[in-house]
């Protein structure tokens, strides 16, 4: 099956990098966190960043929308680069904040994990596309 090699050789290493950067940010703000593969842990809490929590789905939604939009390729590539950067920056904030909440306010962790952050990430992907398409569409129409 083609999905498994893509997951094992692309998605998991990508997620491990997200975890490494998130752990570095956590340490910078004073949290004694350690990373192990796709897991972030401390003495009293641990998370395993799985598919669905690595921002890949939001990126794929944005990539599909931008590629399907009738705009010049240069504008599409610029939109992809900027949009993916925005989504991954927000996802970094998501992972760091969820770990922090898990350590310090575990009673709200699940709500933020399943309702707040998942919704926010998809909404940002849609908002980025809408903003980009208005700008790219306006320029494409004039060209």
Chain segment 15-39, per-residue pLDDT in tens: 999 999 999 999 999 999 999 999 9
Task: Sketch the domain layout of the chain as residue ranges.
Answer: 3-142
CB atoms within 10 A of CB 66: 22
Q: How confident is the model at residue 1 (pLDDT cuts 50, 70, 90)?
A: very low
**Phi, psi of 30, rounded to the nearest 5 degrees:** 100, 5
Q: Which has the higher per-residue pLDDT, 135 or 137? A: 135
Q: Which residues pair with 47 in a beta bridge?
A: 40
Q: Which residues pair with 8 in a beta bridge?
A: none
């Amino acid at each position: 099956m083609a999905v498994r090699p893509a997951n094992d050789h692309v998605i998991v290493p990508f997620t491990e990098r997200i975890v490494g950067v998130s752990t570095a940010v956590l340490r910078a703000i004073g949290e004694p966190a350690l990373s192990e593969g796709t897991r972030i842990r401390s003495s009293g809490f641990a998370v395993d960043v799985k598919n669905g929590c690595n921002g890949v789905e939001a990126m794929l939604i944005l990539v599909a929308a931008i590629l399907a939009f009738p705009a010049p390729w240069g504008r599409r590539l610029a939109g992809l680069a900027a949009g993916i950067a925005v989504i991954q920056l927000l996802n970094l904030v998501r992972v760091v904040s969820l770990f922090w909440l898990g350590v310090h306010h575990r009673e709200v962790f699940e709500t933020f994990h399943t309702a707040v952050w998942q919704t926010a990430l998809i909404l940002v992907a849609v908002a980025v596309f809408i903003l980009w398409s208005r700008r790219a569409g306006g320029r494409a129409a004039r060209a």
